[in-house]
Amino acid sequence: MSLLELQNKLMAIKEAGLGAIGQAASSDELESARVKFLGQKSDLKSIMGTLSSFSPDQKKTVGQLSNSVRQDLEAALKERQASIYKIELAKRLESEKIDISLPGLGRPQGKIHPLTQITEEIISIFHGMGFSVVEGPEIETDYYNFDALNTPADHPARDSQDTFYTEVDAHVLLRSQTSTIQIRAMEKMTPPLRIIAPGRVYRNEEVNARKYPLFHQIEGLLIEKNVTFGQLRGTLMEFYRLLFGRELKTRFRPDFFPFTEPSAELDCQCPFCMGSGCRTCGQRGWLELLGCGMVDPNVLNAVGIDSQEWSGFAFGMGVERVAMLKYGISDIRHFYTNDLRFLEQF
């Protein structure tokens, strides 16, 4: 190749290279152009590799021209690189743009089960009146569940149609009332005492809107000197005033429980219709709230508390029932079917 041809070829390389670099629209295209015109296998490299075959004068001319072509291409490459970077950055910013004024996405939030909520509320009210929480086992003996509570041997509640007995031992059962906890507490503690005993209880019941074989009770027990029925009444009135957030009319009806004497059932004016009658109260205007009474002296004596010196009152309520009254729930099964549409309302 003559010197002139070589010079022409170098100028052609430069022109083609500048054209390719100028047209590159992305980093990838620019890299392809760099490899093609400045890479190890480029025409420019191979021309520079043949320099040794020229005379010194020609070598100088060709060398200078090759270098200047290389420098021009490198400068163009650098310049194009900068502008492509700007273009690509703008594109990226556009694609990653977020509108910080948009409302956030809601995250699903867990809630406390309504029965746990109401239990905590009841405990907190009695806590304020000086009662402390005591707990006991769910698997009990018939002594704590019946005998110590003054339940006669032929009482129907002892029947296996009402109570779940274990198959291993005919005296071992699932407690049917939280009164068992009160007996255990009286055995261990010395009066005066004020306790409430929350917990699960089990009864061999058919499932329907009002009954479920598993439910929760909270029982209360106060043992002090010269306790009166008036004190029991005052304690319960205050409890319901705080629970429902207003004064409710109440009435006591005589009832019978083996471990209290006298015993009573406490009704309150229906908080939904204020006594005028509605579906929740079955048009009666009154709702049954709980059972209560003065602790039978026999029960005190059985646990070694002198009934001549000490007296007390006890009361027990179903937690589901309280929750149903407070929230206007008509079916106890809602608490146990885990339907989120129900649970999310609390």
Sequence-distant (≥ 6) Cβ neighbours of residue 65 within 8 angstroms: 7, 10
Taking the complex as a whole, the smallest distance from the CB of residue 268 to Zn ion amounts, in Å, to 10
Identify which of residues 287 and 314 has a Cβ nearer to Zn ion in the complex. 287
Taking the complex as a whole, the smallest distance from the CB of residue 250 to Zn ion amounts, in Å, to 14
Identify which of residues 181 and 281 has a Cβ nearer to Zn ion in the complex. 281
**Window of 56-64, 94-102, 211-219, 264-272 that interacts with Zn ion by CB under 5 A:** 264-272
Burial class (CB in 10 A: 0-12, 13-18, 19+), 261: middle
Number of helices (H), then strands (E), in the chain: 11, 9
Instruction: Say whether residue 270 binds Zn ion (CB under 5 A).
Output: yes
Identify which of residues 77 and 248 has a Cβ nearer to Zn ion in the complex. 248
Identify which of residues 268 and 281 has a Cβ nearer to Zn ion in the complex. 281
Give the pairing of strands 193-202 and 132-133: parallel
Sign of torsion over alpha carbons 116, 120, 121, 126: positive
- Nearest-CB residue to Zn ion? 270
Taking the complex as a whole, the smallest distance from the CB of residue 285 to Zn ion amounts, in Å, to 6
Can you read off the two tokens belonging to residue 245?
Answer: 């957030």
Closest to 195 (Cα-Cα) out of 167, 219, 165, 177: 219
Taking the complex as a whole, the smallest distance from the CB of residue 332 to Zn ion amounts, in Å, to 18
Taking the complex as a whole, the smallest distance from the CB of residue 283 to Zn ion amounts, in Å, to 7
**Window of 98-106, 124-132, 275-283, 328-336 that interacts with Zn ion by CB under 5 A:** 275-283
The binder of Zn ion chosen from 165, 252, 272, 342 (CB under 5 A): 272
Residue ranges in 168-197 that form contacts with Zn ion under rule CB under 5 A: none
Q: Do the Cβ atoms of 266 and 232 come closer than 8 Å?
A: no
Which residues are 218's β-sheet partners?
198, 317
Instruction: Say whether residue 273 binds Zn ion (CB under 5 A).
Output: yes
What is the Cα–Cα distance from 172 to 114, expressed in whole angstroms?
31
Identify which of residues 197 and 281 has a Cβ nearer to Zn ion in the complex. 281
Instruction: Say whether residue 286 binds Zn ion (CB under 5 A).
Output: no
Query: What is the b/e burial string over 164-200, where b = at least 16 CB atoms within 10 angstroms of the residue's CB?
Result: ebeeeeeeebbbbbbbbbbbbbbeeeebebbbbbbbe
Taking the complex as a whole, the smallest distance from the CB of residue 233 to Zn ion amounts, in Å, to 22
Identify which of residues 136 and 285 has a Cβ nearer to Zn ion in the complex. 285
**Window of 61-69, 78-86, 265-273, 333-341 that interacts with Zn ion by CB under 5 A:** 265-273
Rounded to the nearest 5°, which phi and psi values hold at 157?
A: -60, -25
Identify which of residues 165 and 272 has a Cβ nearer to Zn ion in the complex. 272
120 Cα distance to chain centroid: 16
Please tell me what DSSP assigns to residue 208.
Answer: S
Taking the complex as a whole, the smallest distance from the CB of residue 281 to Zn ion amounts, in Å, to 3
Strands (E), the chain: 132-133, 139-141, 172-174, 193-202, 214-224, 250-257, 260-269, 286-295, 311-318
**Window of 29-37, 80-88, 113-121, 281-289 that interacts with Zn ion by CB under 5 A:** 281-289
Q: How many residues bind Zn ion (CB under 5 A)?
A: 5
Please tell me what DSSP assigns to residue 191.
Answer: S
Taking the complex as a whole, the smallest distance from the CB of residue 322 to Zn ion amounts, in Å, to 16
Closest to 260 (Cα-Cα) out of 208, 217, 222: 222
Identify which of residues 229 and 272 has a Cβ nearer to Zn ion in the complex. 272
Taking the complex as a whole, the smallest distance from the CB of residue 131 to Zn ion amounts, in Å, to 29
Contacts with Zn ion, residue ranges (CB under 5 A): 270, 272-273, 278, 281
